[in-house]
Amino acid sequence: MDSKGMAVLPGVVPPLATRRARWAGLLAVALILGVLYFFVPLEYPATPSLKISPPVCPQEYPLTPQRNGAFWRELTDLYATDAFLTRAVEQLSSAVQIPTETFDEMEPVGVDERWLSRGPFIDHLATAYPLVHTSLKLQKVNTYGLFYTWQGSDTTLKPVLLMGHYDVVPVAPLSADQWTHPPYSGHFDGKFIWGRGSSDDKSSVIETAIEALLERKFAPTRTVVLSFGFDEEAGGYHGAQYLAAALLDRFGPNSFSMIVDEGLGFQENYGTIFALPDIAEKGHLNVEIELQTPGGHSSVPPGHTSIGMLAALIVQLESNAPVPTLQVGSPVFEMAQCFATRGATMPSKLKHALLHAGKSPKALKTAEALLLKDPVLKALIGTTQAVDMITGGVKSNALPEQAWAVVNHRIATQSSVNETLQRDVELLEGLAARFNLSVTANGKLITPAADATYGSLALTTRQELEPAPVTPSNAAPFRLLAGTIRATFHAARKDVREGKTDIVIAPAIGPGNSGASELAS
């Protein structure tokens, strides 16, 4: 992503970009074709280019559908054409051009007029993908949530659930002229499509792959369900939460064989190309910190105004940030071990520490210290905090009676919402006492509110979401996804087919969280 414009979906001109676009489309098709039978029947190549070497970072053989092999080969050829790339570019570009911004604290659907921006996008899907909308059953949930059912012929098989969201983060008006290309232009520069939603997450919502299957009269054996939320960027409370209830009502508990949401990265690390499917999602918590103190005229100020106290509280938080700890068996640990096992150029000290960290506490600490030097890995390993919003005061000569800030946390899989809130309370409690403030947490009084108390400090949780359960990297759905990614990569890249390079699948975790944990909970 670029802070001035997000660029995705490589196009038809640069060779590398062309290869990426071809195999990105194939991945969705391969997954739909392959998941209908899980692992049987599937073809294994006679001489896989990447050997399996358990127990550290084992790799699946590339998995291509056998029963649906004709569809796979036909669509592989189709995706290799410039005509299809042009079609895919146009379809994503058109979707990006429809603003679907989600703001914090929006009122319910039907009350807040900002939800109306979703209507044109839904209409666009119906126009752009006519076969999807005549062949699949669409149920609209809470007006703008989209729940498609592609009925399979074998009702004894559990359905597969594919998810995404089509809302985007708002564009700050003051930054609009700083974008390389306008945020909703959908501009295609010959290599990338630019604009909000091009990566997160309209590229997962557009229905190009399914439309292509329907054009070839494909009918699934296993039911395929699509669930698209419309407010993931604010926690999914109006979208994913209602979709979860609708799916539970329709299918019942534990009813899906596999759930796939956004959360798949590709990058080169230590001289090796890695695919990084997220097997877990961090939790999410906004802690609202509100100070209330007596007002008055600024000509007779107290030692500390509410704004000054709030500033001190923020400094206290930032001076005592959560300390990340690398844990054996965590998603980041598994990912790092894959880097160590498969990375061609990892420094020997880090490689040695990671490969022995599972059994040696000393090696684990060494690996932790080295990994924490990378700010991205540091954020992935532990709970994060960021003070993102602050306000206070109404006039220059009036003492502020209220000051307010919001601290955003992304919670590590080994922690929880309650543990994160409790840590904030304990950090601020002593400083609040020095300022003679009473303290409450979610309405519960933490310190006595004596008559002499100067003011109050209230910590309130907003948009809380517990970390999602971790999917084992040896589970059948993950193995299917891993094998499918490798098969797709092989089909789309000539250098892989010629044995010049390969792709390694490493379980991972994203720095944020998507709608999957909301829907799975």
CATH number, domain containing residue 155: 3.40.630.10
Mark whether 254 and 357 lie in a shared domain: no
Q: Nearest-CA neighbor of 329 among 364, 366, 374?
A: 364
Q: Nearest-CA neighbor of 105 among 496, 406, 330, 478?
A: 406
With respect to residue 1, please indicate whether it lies within any of the assigned structural domains: no
CATH number, domain containing residue 321: 3.30.70.360
Mark whether 54 and 144 lie in a shared domain: yes
With respect to residue 123, please indicate whether it lies within any of the assigned structural domains: yes
Mark whether 397 and 492 lie in a shared domain: no
With respect to residue 73, please indicate whether it lies within any of the assigned structural domains: yes
User: What kind and span of H or E run contains 390?
Assistant: strand 384-392
Task: Give me the domain span that covers residue 93.
Answer: 7-279+468-520
Mark whether 457 and 485 lie in a shared domain: no
Q: Please state, in angstroms and rounded to a whole number, the distance separating the CA atoms of residues 510 and 412.
A: 11
Mark whether 452 and 512 lie in a shared domain: no
Chain centroid to CA 282: how far?
9
pLDDT greater than 50 at residue 23: no
With respect to residue 223, please indicate whether it lies within any of the assigned structural domains: yes
Mark whether 384 and 270 lie in a shared domain: no
Mark whether 230 and 316 lie in a shared domain: no
Structure tokens at 318: 């930032």
Q: Please state, in angstroms and rounded to a whole number, the distance separating the CA atoms of residues 486 and 39.
A: 14
Q: How many CA atoms lie within 13 A of 349 on its CB side?
A: 8
Average pLDDT over residues 326-345: 94
pLDDT digits (tens, 9 = 90+) for 363-398: 999 999 999 999 999 999 999 999 999 999 999 999
Query: DSSP string of 418-449?
Result: HHHHHHHHHHHHHHHHHTTEEEEETTEE-S--
Mark whether 405 and 499 lie in a shared domain: no
Which residue, 465, 481, 506, sits at the end of a domain? 465
pLDDT greater than 80 at residue 516: no
Question: How many angstroms separate the Cα of 145 from the Cα of each of 71, 130, 289?
Answer: 30, 19, 32
Per-residue HEC secondary structure of 276-321 comes to EEEEECCEEEEEEEEEECCCCECCCCCCCCHHHHHHHHHHHHHCCC
What's the chain's average pLDDT? 86
With respect to residue 26, please indicate whether it lies within any of the assigned structural domains: yes
Mark whether 17 and 158 lie in a shared domain: yes
pLDDT greater than 80 at residue 515: no
Q: Is 409 labelled a binding residue?
A: no
β 224-229/160-165 pair status = parallel
Q: Please state, in angstroms and rounded to a whole number, the distance separating the CA atoms of residues 359 and 152.
A: 47
pLDDT tier, 28 (very low <50, low <70, confident <90, very high otherwise):
low
- Report whether 497 contacts 490 (CB < 8 A): yes
Question: How many angstroms separate the Cα of 136 from the Cα of each of 1, 147, 206, 220, 438?
Answer: 33, 10, 14, 11, 57
Predicted local confidence at residue 71, as pLDDT: 87
pLDDT greater than 60 at residue 286: yes
Q: Which residue has the tokens 């959908």?
A: 186
Could you tell me which residue, 23 or 362, shows the higher pLDDT? 362
Mark whether 296 and 180 lie in a shared domain: no
Mark whether 449 and 476 lie in a shared domain: no
Structure tokens at 436: 């003679």
Predicted local confidence at residue 462, as pLDDT: 87
Mark whether 384 and 501 lie in a shared domain: no
Q: Which residue has the tokens 């304990």?
A: 426
Predicted local confidence at residue 65, as pLDDT: 84
Q: Please state, in angstroms and rounded to a whole number, the distance separating the CA atoms of residues 335 and 346.
A: 13
* SS3 label, residue 94: helix
Q: Is the pTM of this model over 0.75?
A: yes
Looking at 167, 424, 466, 518, which residue is catalytic?
167
Please tell me the total count of domains within the chain.
2
Q: Is 51 exposed, middle or buried (0-12, 13-18, 19+ CB in 10 A)?
A: exposed
pLDDT tier, 191 (very low <50, low <70, confident <90, very high otherwise):
confident
pLDDT greater than 50 at residue 54: no
Catalytic status, residue 104:
no
**Lowest-confidence region among 62-76, 132-146, 148-162:** 62-76
Which residue, 442, 465, 488, sits at the end of a domain? 465
Structure tokens at 118: 């979703």
Q: Nearest-CA neighbor of 118 among 3, 211, 185, 202?
A: 202
pLDDT greater than 60 at residue 17: no
Average pLDDT over residues 100-127: 95
Q: Please state, in angstroms and rounded to a whole number, the distance separating the CA atoms of residues 433 and 436.
A: 5
pLDDT greater than 90 at residue 168: yes
Looking at 207, 211, 232, 464, which residue is catalytic?
232
β 402-411/283-292 pair status = antiparallel
Could you tell me which residue, 42 or 304, shows the higher pLDDT? 304
pLDDT digits (tens, 9 = 90+) for 407-459: 999 999 999 999 999 999 999 999 999 999 999 999 999 987 656 689 999 99
Predicted local confidence at residue 176, as pLDDT: 82
Which residue, 418, 435, 465, sits at the end of a domain? 465
Q: Is 261 labelled a binding residue?
A: yes
pLDDT digits (tens, 9 = 90+) for 445-500: 998 765 668 999 999 998 888 998 899 998 988 999 999 999 988 888 888 888 88
Could you tell me which residue, 477 or 24, shows the higher pLDDT? 477
Q: Please state, in angstroms and rounded to a whole number, the distance separating the CA atoms of residues 232 and 168.
A: 8
Predicted local confidence at residue 46, as pLDDT: 35
Contacts of range 118-124, beta carbons closer than 8 Å, 24 or more positions apart: 118/143, 118/144, 118/166, 118/167, 118/230, 119/144, 121/95, 121/166, 122/146, 124/94, 124/95, 124/98
Q: Is 165 labelled a binding residue?
A: yes
Predicted local confidence at residue 451, as pLDDT: 60
Predicted local confidence at residue 521, as pLDDT: 29
Structure tokens at 278: 């997220």
**Any bridge partners for residue 508, and if so which?**
278
Q: CB neighbours of 264 closer than 8 A, spacing ≥ 6? A: 275, 276, 277, 278, 485
* SS3 label, residue 278: strand
With respect to residue 2, please indicate whether it lies within any of the assigned structural domains: no
pLDDT tier, 162 (very low <50, low <70, confident <90, very high otherwise):
very high
User: What kind and span of H or E run contains 503?
Assistant: strand 503-505
pLDDT greater than 60 at residue 42: no
Catalytic status, residue 262:
no
Predicted local confidence at residue 24, as pLDDT: 47
